[in-house]
Amino acid sequence: MFLGYAGLLLFMIGDGVESGFIAPFMADNGAGTEIKASYVITVYGVAVMLASWLSGALSDLWGPRRVMMIGLAIWLVFDVLFLAVAVSGENYALMLVFYGLRGFGYPMFAFGFLVWITAVAPVARLGAAVGWFYFAFTGGLPTLGALVASFTNPVLGHYGTLWVSVGLLALGGLLAIFGVRQRTGYTRLAPPDVKPVQSLVSSVSIAWKKPRVGVGMLVRVINTAPEFGMLVFFPTIFIEGIGFGESRWLLLVSVIYGTNIFFNLIFGVLSDRIGWRTTIFWFGAIGCAISILLLYFVPIAMGAEYYWLALLVGALYGATLAGFVPISALLPSLAPENKGGAMALLNLGAGAAAFVGPAIVSVFLGPLGAAGVVIVFAALYLVAAVLVRYLKLPEETAKAIEEDKSLQQVGEKVVTT
């Protein structure tokens, strides 16, 4: 699977190139304002959400490799149309269409590969295997992507940098699709008797048939919704409001997600030892509730002269984000008889985050301001902490029941005595 991880990294670098400047870029090239640009990103998020769900459901029917090929083709076609037609013509309506449809591409590619990983990785090493996935995923989006942009923007400008991203995406996509020879992903994962409609329905109905999987999906939404949301309005605040400038803002983004990629591995391996739920609760949910507040309020309070403090709290946020990595191992284990459906719901949560984050910004930025939006994000992480307590594996539940019975029997003996 190594070339798949390498290809995913290159693909996500191409995706992440735009993360530090796309909202103000669209505002200057047809959208008019950053609020209108956030609407474009929200439409994109809706497409990402739907495609994330489809990536799991369709991988069951067609095989992960075919889903990855479709995702790559969609991204390249609509990315080229977005740049060559919508941006060059400063056409806001076409921005909404092409940038929105492009959102179907990356989830089908990336999460199709994640389904492939969970289908072949042994349970004892599933946390580590998923950790490597997120190492590659966040290594590109936005970590190395933002770093690439920091070098190419001064030379090629924003528009030229976006064309560089197309080449990186194509190279990474082809490397993964043609480089991975593990045969499980070449064929459908669902049993031969499962029909397309049945597979799609089961990938949704599992949410109420297995309520814990549905709760896990909500945790996955909360995991990265603030990440996508803050990239809508943080660039303007940090670049202009605090006075970091674009290059130092992009470096801060690289530090946040550079830290994140290494902690994805650390928490992936650690979670196999101390427990997936424990890792998510303490390092992910509680950690992020604290660190996202620090990420915003420390630079605001200290100003541009204390840039090193911004780097420290940025690294802390990146590390705690990685605490959610085991959710991708936990959810399919909650429904071992329907891993494809569980992964479809997990991917739906991951995609929904790309919609929910910008949507929260669109709704609350006006009435609450930037500080209010950040507080909303912190509150969401606390909600995730509560929800995680319900995500017990079947064997944990059985163990708890046995312990309750044992305690009850001891109590009865004491009463009898």
Q: pLDDT value at position 247? A: 85
Taking CA atoms, 350 is separated from 297, 306, 354, in Å, by: 27, 34, 7
Please count the other Cβ atoms lying within 10 Å of the Cβ belonging to residue 244.
21
3-state helix, strand, coil in the chain (%, to 5): 90, 0, 10
Question: Nearest to residue 225, comparing CAs of 362, 328, 366?
Answer: 362
pLDDT in tens, 138-167: 888 877 888 898 899 999 999 999 999 999
Would the pTM of this model clear 0.85, i.e. be above it? no
2, with CB counted inside 10 A (0-12, 13-18, 19+), is exposed
Q: What pLDDT is stored for residue 414 in this prediction?
A: 46
Dihedral of alpha carbons 81, 82, 86, 87, sign? negative
- Domain ranges in the chain are 1-185, 204-407
| Full 3-state SS string of 48-104 | HHHHHHHHHHHHHHHCHHHHHHHHHHHHHHHHHHHHHHHHCCCCHHHHHHHHHHHCC
Domain 204-407 in the same topology as domain 1-185: yes
In this predicted structure, the answer to whether residue 407 has a pLDDT above a threshold of 70 is no
- By percentage, how much of the chain surpasses pLDDT 90? 52
Per residue in 191-217, pLDDT (tens digit) is 777 776 776 777 778 888 889 999 999
Between residues 69 and 340, the one the model is more confident about: 69
Question: Does position 135 have pLDDT exceeding 90, yes or no?
Answer: no
Average pLDDT, the chain: 88
Largest CA distance in the chain: 87
| 207: its two tokens | 């949410």
Does residue 291 or residue 131 have the better pLDDT? 291
- CATH class belonging to 1-185: mainly alpha
CATH classification code of 204-407: 1.20.1250.20
* Mean pLDDT of all residues in 125-132: 86
- Write out pLDDT tens, residues 233-249: 998 899 999 999 988 99
80-107: burial string, b at 16+ Cβ within 10 Å, e else = ebbbeebbeeeebebbbbbbbbbbbbbb
Model pLDDT for residues 350-386, shown as the tens digit of each residue: 878 878 898 899 899 989 999 999 999 999 999 999 9
